[in-house]
Amino acid sequence: MPEKAENRVQWTETGLDGRNMLTIRCSACKQKLWKYKKLGPGEVLRCHKTRITRVYAYKLEGGKIKCACGQVIGIDKGKYFKMIRKAFTYSGTKDHKL
């Protein structure tokens, strides 16, 4: 049985009990950048700093968030990072693992 699409939508949109954790990775080199607690449905357009729960690797240069490989992942806007959609990928932690 293939995974039902509606199951994915459900856990993404409800947020369940705050277990909607995403691992953000560089799309160029696949390096893990940080873990992010996402609230609400939809794309990751911004990452609020207060919801970054773990940092693996990134560097801040001239207001830009960069991967170690040099790829620009986003722009530092103060309270959040404005993300460049093509520069990163993310995967969610499904609640059944917890």
Contact footprint for Zn ion (CB under 5 A): 26, 28-29, 31, 67, 69, 71
CB of 69 to Zn ion, least distance (A): 3
Which residue lies nearer to Zn ion by CB, 12 or 23?
23
Cα(25)–Cα(27) distance, rounded to whole angstroms? 6
CB of 12 to Zn ion, least distance (A): 25
CB of 57 to Zn ion, least distance (A): 9
